[in-house]
Structure 1
């Protein structure tokens, strides 16, 4: 799989990422943190959130999001692939030798370090 390059591909990947979060609720800042692994464009971030809401993936209540995913978590055994190499984590910018890539229907997201991939998918929070 390859990294999405068009605006539409990034939008689809962002919506799918939100649909696969392992949290029932999170604040807007946490959602934006995850979306920023795909894009740092404020306009596209807003479009991803709007599309996710229109498609019933999320409900927004002020600065809180409720995920309406229907049990579609990322399957770590099949959807997270580790590759060796010289990478920079898309979330924190750290240099890593093992990159973790999340393979979703809309595209591949990564590389991430081992703790950042857990944060991006919602399996782990900042305080854990």
Structure 2
């Protein structure tokens, strides 16, 4: 993955990731877990959440967050690509020989392992509450 080079690019990538999250409602903690695949900076995380809320992408209610995506979800056939190589999962840090990358308009996010890509996008039932 090419790291976002500016603060604004990082915020855009984080906002777009939020716009594609499943399920539509999740805890703030679960949303932050996913944002941490973009940045671990608390200030940038706050900027991502604030920007997404101002744009009407999310609604925050205390420790809960609702995604107002209007039908957008990560399409695994067109937006997730795999590459062979030597990678480290961006979510859990495990070594990978196959990396899964999410292509968003704001940039590419990854690499992730096969289970972490599902957790990041919210397709893994174990992350739902």
| TM class, shorter-length | over 0.9
Alpha-carbon distance in 1 for matches of 2:86, 2:9: 25
Alpha-carbon distance in 2 for matches of 1:72, 1:102: 14
TM-score (norm: length of structure 1): 0.96
Indicate conservation of the 8 Å contact 1:4/1:108, yes or no. Answer: no
Aligned partner of 2:95 in structure 1 is 95
Cα RMSD (Å) of the superposition?
1.3
How many corresponding residue pairs?
128
- Runs of 4+ with >6 A deviation: none
SS at match of 1:39: coil
Unaligned runs of 5+ in 1: none
Closer, same or farther: CA 41–127 of 1 in aligned 2, 3 Å: closer
Matches within 5 A, 1:1-128: 2-126=2-126
Alpha-carbon distance in 1 for matches of 2:81, 2:95: 18
Q: Deviation at 1:3?
A: 3.0
Q: Deviation at 1:125?
A: 3.8
Indicate conservation of the 8 Å contact 2:119/2:127, yes or no. Answer: no
Bigger drift between 95-104 and 116-125 goes to 116-125
Closer, same or farther: CA 46–99 of 1 in aligned 2, 3 Å: same
SS at match of 1:101: strand
TM-score (norm: length of structure 2): 0.95
SS at match of 1:72: coil
Unaligned runs of 5+ in 2: none
